[in-house]
Amino acid sequence: MSGNKILYRPTLPFKARKAVFEKLEDIADVASMSPEDRERYDNSVKVYRDYLVTMDAAEQKGIKEGLEKGIEKGMKEGTQRAQLKIARNMKAKGIDNQSIAECTDLPLSIIEGL
């Protein structure tokens, strides 16, 4: 390589460089542990990772259950709105309240209140 050429090496921002050196320091600390300390460290890391996986699974389960309940609630509300719309239309056509209640499965008290 000739002496005039300068290689461009992008530098990391200070925060990123600091994080890299902190990670290297952690690795060096772990490498210098006694076998007993290393085993305890490895076990604690395993427990922590298991905890993270468990929490992630619980979060995903909660999201899934929340979506299912939300969809169920939305379907129920949509059905109720449709039943009320049908009942109003039937009532506007002069159909008696008892027949409307039988056709829409709405309580007679609700139909009378329309």
Contact 106, 79 (CB under 8 A): no
The predicted structure's pLDDT at residue 74: 95
Give 27's pLDDT tier (boundaries 50, 70, 90). Answer: confident
Query: pLDDT digit string (tens) for 67-103?
Result: 999 999 999 999 999 999 999 999 999 999 999 988 8
86, exposed or middle or buried, with CB in 10 Å at 0-12, 13-18, 19+?
Answer: middle
Contact 101, 113 (CB under 8 A): no
The predicted structure's pLDDT at residue 113: 87
Which of 11-25, 28-42, 53-67 has the lowest average pLDDT?
11-25
pLDDT value at 21 more than 80: no
DSSP codes, 49-65: HHHHHHHHHHHHHHHHH
List alpha helices for 1-114, DSSP H: 14-31, 35-92, 97-104, 108-112
% residues pLDDT > 70 (the chain)? 81
Give 35's pLDDT tier (boundaries 50, 70, 90). Answer: confident
Instruction: Report the distance separating Cα 109 and Cα 70, nearest Å.
Output: 28
**Measured on CA atoms in the order 64, 67, 73, 79, is the torsion positive or negative?**
negative
pTM value? 0.47
Contact 103, 90 (CB under 8 A): yes
